[in-house]
Structure 1
Amino acid sequence: MNTNKMFGMKNKDGGCSEGAGLEFRPGGMLVQKRSSDSNQNSASVPTIKVRVKYGSSYHEVNISSQASFGDLKKMLAGQTGLHHQDQKIFYKDKERDSKSFLDYVGVKKGSKLVLIEDEISKERRSIESRKNSRMEQASKDIAAIRSEVDTSAKQVARVEMDINGGKKVLETAILKLTEHLMNQLIKLDGISADGDVKLQRKMQVTRVQKYIETLDMLKIKNSMMGINRDNNKFPTRHQHPQVFTGEMPIYNQDKPDQRDLPGTNSRPVLVTTKWETF
């Protein structure tokens, strides 16, 4: 059967126009076509008043007959204080989906609906809220650590410049800087994160590890600097091995060897000669 003839819609020529102002809804119901034109005359869409029971209270809501149950939930959120995602609305003992339209299921002026709190949705949303809060705090913690690492990076660059330039740096300064970076690494390890925040943490861990490795190499190079300097020094006079530095006694050859005469108290005449070292 031609739907145009059934609804008696005719064009200027007296014929029937197809689908003029009508559309098919899910289930095959033919209803007035909805227009997305913002300039559509709102007076053509009736406003209805419905009663919604929530606990022991009743709430009256004025809403467009072509609104969705999701729209109704948002309006009830202000009156009940219940988040629209935590709401379940029943009409004729059946839960209605947020995307379903009021007029499609037969809601009209004076219709009664029941609202209850969705405990599962509420708990799920609460968990998601806590998770988002943790991620926000983790992001702030990582930002603070990143600032500390930026400062340490400048100090590492100065130490590297001094050592590569031949200037010896105090070992305690290198150890202190390494210890500070290790503490930042421990802080990063204690942060639990997901998604983009986890990626931020990984980037900072890589940075800190790189600076610690650089300091380890600089520490070795810095410690070898004093040894190389000592090895390059010219040996001093007192460092040369001495050929002979003692005194050589020379006895008078014109007299008998007094060392062999018994009872003599005279001591031999000694002549000393210092040998020059060449």
Structure 2
Amino acid sequence: MLRSMRFSRSRSKLRNGNKATTPTENDCRGICQIQWELRPGGMLVQKRESNLSSSEEGFITITVSTVSHSHQISIESTSTFGELKIILSLVTSFEPREQRLLFKGKERADDEYLHMVGVRDKDKVLLLEDPAIKEKKMLGLSDPKSFHLCFTN
């Protein structure tokens, strides 16, 4: 079990040029506690302040561009690219297995976390259709179960 560490902050007056200032109530009333959180990658980090902007509290809005359209998607920053594909399957005609997502010029795996590769609020992600599946669709072989080989002697 992890315990929060305590440290003291002096409540004495601080000199700021000729002006004397005292610590505010935001200075933890003399004693602060460090709170910890476990990130999805397993890293233990200091918990963020609760008064952060909405984009830092968890949800980000990203632009996902296809060849002909772009979509504004609001998603948790700790989501995976696989989870993003599921959301995109609801707004596009592509199933998750048909999608290829690129961020910063690299195709991203389904198990990669958005925040771990640097996706931030208002970033852009490129959505492409898997070329192999696109070719199968063009040949009429989109459903592998419907394709049967028949051999005769």
TM-score normalised by length of structure 2: 0.58
1:32 and 1:100 mapped to 2: Cα distance? Answer: 22
- Which residue among 46, 70, 73 is the counterpart of 2:58? 46
- Cα pair distance change 1:30/1:24, threshold 3 Å: farther
2:37 and 2:109 mapped to 1: Cα distance? Answer: 26
User: 1:104-149 CA deviation, whole Å, 9 max, x = no partner?
Assistant: 1111110111010002245398252324xx6xxxxxxxxxxxxxxx
- Which residue among 87, 91, 100 is the counterpart of 2:99? 87
CA radius of gyration, larger in: 1
2:118 and 2:46 mapped to 1: Cα distance? Answer: 14
Question: 1:49: Cα distance to partner?
Answer: 0.5
Question: 1:81: Cα distance to partner?
Answer: 0.8
DSSP-derived class of the 1:21 partner: strand
Amino acid at match of 1:126: S
DSSP-derived class of the 2:83 partner: helix
Conserved? CA contact 2:98–2:133, under 8 Å: yes
Conserved? CA contact 2:37–2:44, under 8 Å: no
Counterpart for residue 72 of structure 1: 84
User: 1:163-209 CA deviation, whole Å, 9 max, x = no partner?
Assistant: xxxxxxxxxxxxxxxxxxxxxxxxxxx999xxxxxxxxxxxxxxxxx
CA RMSD of aligned residues (A): 3.8
DSSP-derived class of the 2:5 partner: coil
- Cα pair distance change 1:23/1:83, threshold 3 Å: closer
Conserved? CA contact 1:24–1:31, under 8 Å: no
DSSP-derived class of the 2:116 partner: helix
Counterpart for residue 14 of structure 2: none
2:130 and 2:69 mapped to 1: Cα distance? Answer: 17
Matched, 1:113 2:125: yes
**What runs of 5+ residues in structure 1 fail to find an aligned partner?**
34-43, 135-189, 193-278
Matched, 1:10 2:26: no
Counterpart for residue 73 of structure 2: 61
Conserved? CA contact 2:85–2:96, under 8 Å: yes
1:78 and 1:24 mapped to 2: Cα distance? Answer: 25
1:24 and 1:57 mapped to 2: Cα distance? Answer: 31
1:130 and 1:31 mapped to 2: Cα distance? Answer: 50
Q: Which has the higher strand share?
A: 2
Number of residue pairs matched by the alignment: 113
Percent identity (aligned): 29
Question: 1:20: Cα distance to partner?
Answer: 3.6
**What runs of 5+ residues in structure 2 fail to find an aligned partner?**
8-30, 48-55
1:121 and 1:74 mapped to 2: Cα distance? Answer: 17
Alignment of 1:34-183 (within 5 A): 45-122=57-134, 123=136, 126=142, 128-131=144-147
Conserved? CA contact 2:40–2:78, under 8 Å: no
Question: 1:56: Cα distance to partner?
Answer: 2.6
1:121 and 1:89 mapped to 2: Cα distance? Answer: 15
